[in-house]
Amino acid sequence: MPGVTHSAAGRAFHGRAAELELLGAALRRTAEHGASAVLLGGDAGVGKTRLVGEFGRAAATEGATVLTGRALDIADAPSFWPVVTALRMHARSGAGPAARTFAEALERLDETGGAAGDRVGMLGELGAVVGRAARSAPVVLVVDDLQWADRSTRDLFAYLLAGLATEPVLLVGTYRDDPAGGVPAALLPLVTELRRHRTVTFRQVEPLPRGALAELLGMWVPDRPDLEPLVWQHSSGNVFLAEETVRAVLDGDPRGVPQTVRELVRAGTATLSPAAHDVVRAVAAGVGGVEHPLLVSVLDRSGAELAAAVREAVDAGIVVVTGGDGYALRHGLMTEVVAGDLLPAERIELHGRYAHALAGYESVPGTAARLAHHWQRAGHPKEALTATIAAAEEAERLRGYAEAHRHWLRAATLPVPGAEAARGGYLENAAGAAELAGDHDSAVALLSERLAGPDAPVGLDEAVLRARLGRYLMSAGQAGEAEEAYRRAAAVLPADPVASGAGPPGAVLPPGGPDAGGGPRPNMLPVDPTEAARAEVLAGYAGALLARADFAAARTVAQQALEPARRVGEPRALASVLGVLGFGAAYTRDGGAAQEALAEAVEIAEATGDPATLGECLLRRAELLSGPLNALDDGVAAARAGAERMAELGLGRTAAVSLRALAANGLFRKGAWDEGEQEVARAWAAGPAGAEMIELRLARARLRMGRGDLDGSELDLAAVELVAGSTGLPKLRLPLLILRAGLEMWRGRPEVAFTHVGVGLDVVESGIDDVWAVAPLLWHGARAHAEAVLAGRPPDAGGLRRLRRHRRELIDRGERSDPALRGVLTTYEAMCTAEDSRVTAGADPATWGAVADLLERLGQPYPTAYARLRSAEALLAGRRRSGAAELARAAAGARALQADPLLTEIAAVARRARVAVPDLPDPPAGAVRVEPVVPSSPVDDPLSTLTGRELEVLEVLAAGATNKEIAARLFIAPKTVAAHLARIFAKLGVTNRTQAAGVLRRHVPESERTE
């Protein structure tokens, strides 16, 4: 090699000061703000990897724990690959508490997949590992080539951001821009979610400017300044192209300096000896870093010979050593070119050799997926199938269900003769993995395809599969479809031998009363599969009917499910049937039966000694009490006692958190907000993760919003959205949108709130029509509409028509429903109608008063105070005397709750209406100055001659209001407005409204005026 060793040249790094500063500042900020992320996009070869490598080294010298992983460029990569390899490398090479933490965690993961029960649990587990490490020093987690990362890794990114609110963790991701420009398609969902999160920074890494490239070139080849114009012309600042151009020039390529990446790389490898060239080809065909022993087996060369060949390739700057004992080509672009240049025969041969060599390493984590990749490329579908199944099972152990989903699909489509019979099973497994990955749509679609396929199961198997489809549909929020799926499942169930012998299907209880068959039976006899299927199908059917608010039918079917469930004796399933039965009974006004069913469920759970089942039963009982049984105090007490119990049983972070979140929601409803906040704080202190963290954050968002901590509330909502988005929890979508709409309303942006409601209606129209959530959504819509109209920014007529249509549908539904549901829907409809009355001329001012009375009777202090405010507004607008008293009642209610945003609104109404209400907060800073501050002189400030009321009138007028609108806003008669205006014009010496508004604008800065 002439003159220069390329490896030395490759190491030089220069410039990128702005990017390094960005990363450094982001890391420093994590000390205060918790986890944050920087995502770096850019063209291939622009220098992203070098940049983050450089930053990682700097951060490590300052004491940070730096974890670096790279995603694999294969279609179906092992779960969490970049993260797990990064942890493994650090555990192996690093010292200190972090390395020990990682080593222990990895050991647990390798053995059992950790303690995690599901994928959100697994994300929580890994999040906790990183969080623990961050206690001793800040953690930097770098994932290179995020566009290739497995979905579990991408989900973890979102999860860490949402979950680590206080730990100093910086996530750095690099991704290659799409060839067509912009973010690559695989990353779009993640990027869309992250963009909403304020602790995420996006930055394009641009090619080096000419000056910086020239300086870098001076460091590579100090004696050749003459190369600069050529290198700039060929690379335009792309560092990889610049390096390769320099190499080509120095090697004196006789064909002239190549221009394209492909030609450059070919020129670079052309000078190698045949043995070194083989090394390069072999490494290019490998996946990720190719370990030395693996390379030895693939190339089948003697040690000394191979060592020399590898040394040559490394010295030529084409092969680099990664992570201790592996090899890779220096740049991904090189790998692509070299691998692309392999002839089909060479490719098949190399992949076959890899597959044979790797077959000895099957116990090493991550091997199965690589093996499947090589067998498939080598044209051995049978061996690929075996490896693919192993990869799927390994992914499931790691709760990497998104990858397991893909592996099972691959298994189902590999053309292996003789494997046809097993394919249906692989499709079912794929559906199951998709479901656990939170991809409910794919799970449903796959199982539907399976059921429509030529070899679809029949009889009992069909019933079980249809019930599973029903279960997936339920978790997709599609209760209507789920009901149909379960109905069909029930229809193909074989006749019940016991029931048909014992009496008509309606005769539910076993002879001798409920206790005769009660409790789980000793598990001695093998369970009849027909019985088990019957129990499962009917239990699911009952649950779907309950979700559809068809309470009577739910109760009937649950009772039919009870008997086989008792005979099967699986406690969790039995408890779940009893739960549905209880709710069905409660909603059909049979409180006694409801309590009995839940008491039995708790009893069964106690008898099994399984704390998780007990936790579910306690939660359900508390829900029953605070929900349909209308015993809110009892429900809260039951939830609190249950939480204590669960904490004692070691479920302080999971079941206890759910119970406390339930208690907090109950306390919020009954107006005991201080106590609610205490419950949230206690639960938060336990450090919940996953689904429980989501529940708790929602409870806290509600409380914070009520109390006026709007930013804190938004933080919780954003965190929930981040997790819910990546794990696709459809049940959360409507509650989240409702809370978002509420938040925007308090922020004075009703038109934005209305947009959120519109998105909610999209969700409803997609079949996720949880009736308990639809009603409050529609009320938020009606309120947002009224407030947007009042603010002079009315939403478009189409949106309003749609809202009205949904309201009519809900009324119809109420008329068809059981009384329990009808009552709730009627209340919300009354609230909607009352909201409409705010913007309807000639509406009855008593409308809101009736709503407030209704809400008060229902024991809902917060909505009651809100309705009183609206009632007072309506009465004051009609200049009724009772308005002042109503406003005082609203204020008293809001004050008792310390509901600050509501109190502020009440105060604003009091001020405009000139009603004295004691103990109201001062107007917020920046609002209107009722009295001009320091009136200098009438000449300097003509406004100083106006009275407070006149100034108010002028303010409203300047916003473009008509006399009628001014009257409505200030609760005075239009005639009075005219009188005020005449005096204002005279005092200001103007003749019309425009001039008057002009005077105001000249003398009061924009920022000090209202709205």
Residues engaged in binding other proteins (CB under 8 A): 185, 344, 405-406, 409, 412-413, 415, 420, 427, 430, 440-442, 444-446, 448-449, 454, 469, 473, 476, 478, 481, 484-485, 767
Supply the minimum distance, in Å, between the C-beta of residue 470 and other proteins: 10
Supply the minimum distance, in Å, between the C-beta of residue 156 and other proteins: 19
Supply the minimum distance, in Å, between the C-beta of residue 28 and other proteins: 37
Query: How far apart are the C-alpha atoms of 957 and 994, rounded to whole Å?
Result: 9
Assigned token pair, 180: 């067509």
* Residue (185 or 982) nearer to other proteins, CB: 185
326-329/319-322 β-pairing: antiparallel
* Residue (409 or 493) nearer to other proteins, CB: 409
Supply the minimum distance, in Å, between the C-beta of residue 464 and other proteins: 16
From residue 632, alpha-carbon distances to 105, 545, 859 in Å are 43, 25, 9
* Residue (545 or 664) nearer to other proteins, CB: 545
* Residue (50 or 377) nearer to other proteins, CB: 377
Supply the minimum distance, in Å, between the C-beta of residue 406 and other proteins: 5
Of 391, 402, 392, the C-alpha closest to 366 is 391
Note whether 902 and 909 are within 8 A (CB): no
* Residue (766 or 936) nearer to other proteins, CB: 766
Of 637, 641, 644, 558, the C-alpha closest to 601 is 558
The amino acid present at 11, given as its one-letter code, is: R
3-state secondary structure (DSSP) of residue 935:
coil
* Residue (448 or 826) nearer to other proteins, CB: 448
Angle at 204 between CA 201 and CA 206, to 5 degrees: 150
CA 954 to chain centre: 47
* Residue (430 or 757) nearer to other proteins, CB: 430
Supply the minimum distance, in Å, between the C-beta of residue 76 and other proteins: 9
Supply the minimum distance, in Å, between the C-beta of residue 539 and other proteins: 20
Supply the minimum distance, in Å, between the C-beta of residue 762 and other proteins: 12
**DSSP letter, residue 185:** G
* Residue (78 or 168) nearer to other proteins, CB: 78
Supply the minimum distance, in Å, between the C-beta of residue 454 and other proteins: 6
Note whether 602 and 614 are within 8 A (CB): yes
Query: How far apart are the C-alpha atoms of 400 and 986, rounded to whole Å?
Result: 76
Residue count of the chain = 1011
Note whether 598 and 620 are within 8 A (CB): yes
End-to-end CA distance of the chain: 73
Assigned token pair, 773: 């959530």
Assigned token pair, 761: 């209606």
Assigned token pair, 502: 């014992």
Note whether 42 and 237 are within 8 A (CB): no
Assigned token pair, 20: 């390094």
Strand partners, 68: 142
Assigned token pair, 380: 């051995």
Q: Indicate the angle between helix axes 261-270 and 332-341, nearest 10 degrees.
A: 80
Burial class (CB in 10 A: 0-12, 13-18, 19+), 592: exposed
* Residue (731 or 914) nearer to other proteins, CB: 731
Supply the minimum distance, in Å, between the C-beta of residue 424 and other proteins: 12
* Residue (406 or 670) nearer to other proteins, CB: 406
Q: Quickly tell me which residue has 């709750």 as its tokens.
A: 897
Supply the minimum distance, in Å, between the C-beta of residue 438 and other proteins: 13
* Residue (466 or 870) nearer to other proteins, CB: 466
CA 396 to chain centre: 21
Supply the minimum distance, in Å, between the C-beta of residue 481 and other proteins: 5
Supply the minimum distance, in Å, between the C-beta of residue 384 and other proteins: 14
* Residue (29 or 487) nearer to other proteins, CB: 487
Other C-beta atoms closer than 10 Å to the C-beta of 642 total: 25
Supply the minimum distance, in Å, between the C-beta of residue 391 and other proteins: 14
Supply the minimum distance, in Å, between the C-beta of residue 720 and other proteins: 22
Burial class (CB in 10 A: 0-12, 13-18, 19+), 880: middle
Query: How far apart are the C-alpha atoms of 224 and 231, rounded to whole Å?
Result: 11
Supply the minimum distance, in Å, between the C-beta of residue 446 and other proteins: 6
* Residue (234 or 466) nearer to other proteins, CB: 466
At 329, phi and psi to the nearest 5?
-75, 155
* Residue (141 or 447) nearer to other proteins, CB: 447
Q: How big is the chain by its Cα radius of gyration, in Å?
A: 34
* Residue (237 or 424) nearer to other proteins, CB: 424
* Residue (177 or 178) nearer to other proteins, CB: 178
Supply the minimum distance, in Å, between the C-beta of residue 185 and other proteins: 8
Other C-beta atoms closer than 10 Å to the C-beta of 237 total: 19
Angle at 805 between CA 800 and CA 811, to 5 degrees: 125
* Residue (418 or 798) nearer to other proteins, CB: 418
Of 573, 478, 771, 519, the C-alpha closest to 581 is 573
319-322/169-176 β-pairing: unpaired
Other C-beta atoms closer than 10 Å to the C-beta of 244 total: 30
Assigned token pair, 687: 């450090």
* Residue (154 or 895) nearer to other proteins, CB: 154
Angle at 366 between CA 363 and CA 368, to 5 degrees: 70
Supply the minimum distance, in Å, between the C-beta of residue 393 and other proteins: 17
Alpha helices in 14-150 (DSSP H): 17-33, 48-61, 81-93, 96-112, 119-136
**Nearby residues of 796 by Cβ (< 8 Å), 6 or more positions away:** none
Strand partners, 169: 139
Largest CA distance in the chain: 106
